[in-house]
Structures are given as structure tokens and as C-alpha cells.
Amino acid sequence: MIGETHALTAVESPSHGVRSPATPALLSSYLAHDSLFSSASHQLHARGVLETLVHSIDTDLAGESERLLARVANDSGRLPLMGAVPFSASQASCLWVPSQAAFAAGRARHRGAALSSLPSDQKAAPRVESVPAPAQFKRNVERSLDRIHDGGISKVVMSRSLRIAARVDVPQLLAQLLTRAPGAYTFAMDLAGAAGPKACLIGSSPELLLSKRGARVVSNPLAGSIPRVADAEEDQRRARGLLESAKDRYEHALVVDAVAAALRPYCRDLRVPKTPSLVATPTMWHLSSVVDGELIDPNTSSLRLALALHPTPAVCGYPTEPARGVIHELEGYDRGLFTGLVGWCDAEGDGEWAVTIRCAMVEEDSATVFAGAGIVAGSEPDAELAETTAKLGTMLNAMGLTQAVEASGAEGRA
């Protein structure tokens, strides 16, 4: 089970065909302060910090990462670079080469009961602060719609956060996420050892920003969403309505077109679906398009490609810089790593990067969870608030905090 002590063995990445250790052994050795990234194809489990990528804001982050990986490759057995890049280009990334790492084929799975991620001795309901408050979030949506109506932007993403005064057991939360959302990109990145905050960035993202293996590159943008419901008939009705929604298809097309435009200079061949499909998480339906291509230069790194995409209109808006300005003006809090990218890249440039959504920053005595919604012409403030509430449910349900948040009243002042 998660939490038992085992040593990790440094192994080469999946680009070399290595498939060890076995999946159960890899996950069973996870300890607090380890880092893990799990996807459908493989998982990476890391421990310690061999070297941190130190860079200034105005440097070439992709180039610095490539030089770091080349420098440590001779001594490290091709250990990967891993970590997270923030939403804002004005903030430093948190990227490092671990001192130990292990890859395994297939998705990490938790075997056994998924226990509560709250300590057993925590009796009192935690204090909850909503930033911005629900009523302010709706005003932010209204003001965003005014900006769209005035011209200059077609879409902007408004987000909000919940700051919860509770101690969260990270290994148990990771087990919950792996159990509840087996199709997601699940991650737990311990940031303190890489000169980051004393916190763990943990989440279960449904959205692949970019994966690269050899010459093949894939991105899976999601945009256009609706909350799911327990009633199966109504849930399917909502899914069909989303697929037929002109507003949501327009929002989705903005993102797909931007992704294709960013990747096209790097690709000799790029395949872009003409129409979106549906994907489901435990709490949401999303419009989805899988964009894949063949690189002109197979040595182009996954991080360089991911940075060329970031931030997509799915997390920022369109056009990027005017939308970023509206976010800075209206949101009222610092996103930090939320809506950035999280993942890994090896010395050959292969790697996988997810969009940092459905996530939390877990500190010693608190956790902050985040959610956002894309605002386009036709968006409604109440519906966008409901969408963010449903998205917050991914982490709150896994933490066992949904009822505590409801009881706090922090979500009721709309």
C-alpha cells in the first residue's frame, strides 16, 4: 500500500523501452515528499533532488532544461527533468532532476480501500475562505462579458480558489485520486526540495497539454464543459446538449485552432479533428479534440513544445495578452502553478505535460483548491459559478471536505 518504505532504483525512461519496476511495486513504495506523475501509458515515481533548474524570468527555459539534462546525463543514468511551470511568465518555474527515479508501464493504481485524506484526529470543521467569493466571481464574469462585448477579446478564463485550514494526508489523497479518476493525469509534486514552497502540488488533470515520443507529438485540448449529474438520463441529455451547443463549440474551436497554430511550425504533418468528441470525468463532461502530428525535428524537446503552447485559450483566453490583462485586473488572487503545466521530460526530449487543473496546493496545515471557467459571448454568471463548483468537487471529494465546505457557508454567499 502507499506509504510503505522501499528504495527506488534509477532507471531509463520509456523512450528506451525500459519497463521496470512493476506497477504495484512502484506505487507501493510512494512516501510523503516523493513525487509522482501517472498517465495511461506509464508512470514516473521520483525521490529527492539531484539538481534544481535555476533560471531567471527572461531566460530560455526550454534551452536551460536541455542543457541541464545533457549535463547530468553522464552521471545520472538519464534521470528526467520534472516539476511544474506556473501560469504567469513573470514567475519562476519549479523544475528539477530527481536523485532517484523509476518508470513503469501502465497507470499507477491504488490497491485496497481508498481511505480518508484527512487525519483521523481532525475533529473540528475547517475554516474555509473563498477567493474570490462566489458573488465576486459572478461579478468578474459579468465584467468579462463587458470586455468581450466591447471587442478586443473573444474569450477569457475566470477562476477562483478555496483556502481550507485543514491538514491533508498527501499519500492518502493520491490514493483517492488514483481510485476516483483512473483516466486522468494524476500528479503529486513535492516542491520544497527544488527551492519551491513547502508544499505539494497534487491533482488529477483530465487535459493533456502535450506528449512527445520520438517524432510523434499529441495534444488533447478540452474546452466547453457542463457539470454531470447522478441521474443517468439527465446526464446523457446534458452530454448531448454540450455536443450540440454553438457557444461551447465556438469556445472549443478557439482553443483547438490556437493549439494547431502553435504546433504547425514544428510539424511536417499535423492532424486536427474537424469536430469535437465528448470525454467525461467523474464530475464534468468536456468537449475534446486530439491533435497529433509528426515532428520535423524529432530532437525537439517536449518541454519546448509545451511552452510553445502555454498558455492555451483553455486556461487564459483569446487573444492571449489581452485576456491575460483581464485576468490580472479582475481575478484578485495569484494563480501560481494553477493553470500552468506539470510533467516531465527526458534527455531525448520525450515527455508528457498535463495542464495543471483539478489540483490543490497542500501545505502543512492548509490546502488551496482551484477551478476556472471559460467566458465567451453567451456565458451566464450563474452557470459559470456552477461549473467551477463542480470542478472544485474533484479535489474536495477526494479530500473528504465537500460537506465541510458546504457547512462553512463559504460557498453560499452568492
Cell numbers given for 331: 481575478
What are the C-alpha distances in Å from 266 to residues 30, 81, 221, 306? 37, 22, 18, 12
Compute the distance between CA of residue 253 and CA of residue 274 in angstroms, rounded to an integer. 9
Q: Which residues are catalytic?
A: 155, 207
Q: Round to whole Å and give the CA distance between 338 and 206.
A: 14
DSSP β-ladder status, 185-190 and 200-205: antiparallel
CA distance 12 to 88: 32
Which residues fall within 8 angstroms of residue 211, CB to CB, at 6 or more apart?
Answer: 39, 41, 217, 218, 219, 302, 351, 352, 353
Q: 79: which DSSP letter?
A: P
Whole-number Å distance between alpha carbons of 346 and 46: 13
CA atoms within 13 A on the CB side of 19: 5
Query: What beta strand segments (E) does 124-181 contain?
Result: 128-131, 155-164
Helix locations, 229-380, DSSP H? 232-244, 246-263, 302-309, 320-330
- 187: phi then psi, degrees, rounded to nearest 5: -145, 150
Phi-psi region of 253 (alpha: psi -120 to 50; beta: other; left: phi over 0): alpha
Q: Residue 201 corresponds to which cell in the numbers above?
A: 502540488
Query: Which is nearest to 65 in space by CA: 294, 291, 347, 253?
Result: 347
Number of helices (H) and strands (E) in the chain: give both, helices first. 10, 22
DSSP secondary structure string, 347-384?
TTS-EEEEE--SEEEE-SS-EEEEEEEEE-TT--HHHH
